[in-house]
Amino acid sequence: MSPGPRPTPLELPIRNERDVEFHRNLYCRFYDQCLDFSVKESWASWTCHHCPLFGSQEDAPRAREFAERRNREQPGP
């Protein structure tokens, strides 16, 4: 089994923020990759619950730190 990220499909879309926070680790470094994968697979929604990385992330960064880190990690135009 791969040690990398492993999103799992959900049958119904997630409709509110509380559910998103329950099902997904928004601060995971692989979040964007999992989101892209779920879109390519045409999933209605997805969860991180079965991912080996779920719950193993450090505490969520402050909003400014998170935004700055994402800006550095995003490829340029």
Give, in order, the Cα–Cα distances in Å from 54 to each of 21, 24, 72: 12, 8, 23
> Which tens digit of pLDDT belongs to each residue from 2-11?
566 789 999 8
> How much is the mean pLDDT over the chain?
80
Residue 49 has pLDDT above 60, yes or no: yes
For the chain, what are the domain ranges?
Answer: 8-73
DSSP β-bridge partners for residue 46: 9
Confirm if 42 and 73 have CB atoms less than 8 A apart: no
The pLDDT score that the predictor gives to residue 1 is 45
* Assessment of whether the complete model's pTM goes beyond 0.75: no
Residue 50 has pLDDT above 80, yes or no: yes
Higher pLDDT, 9 or 1: 9
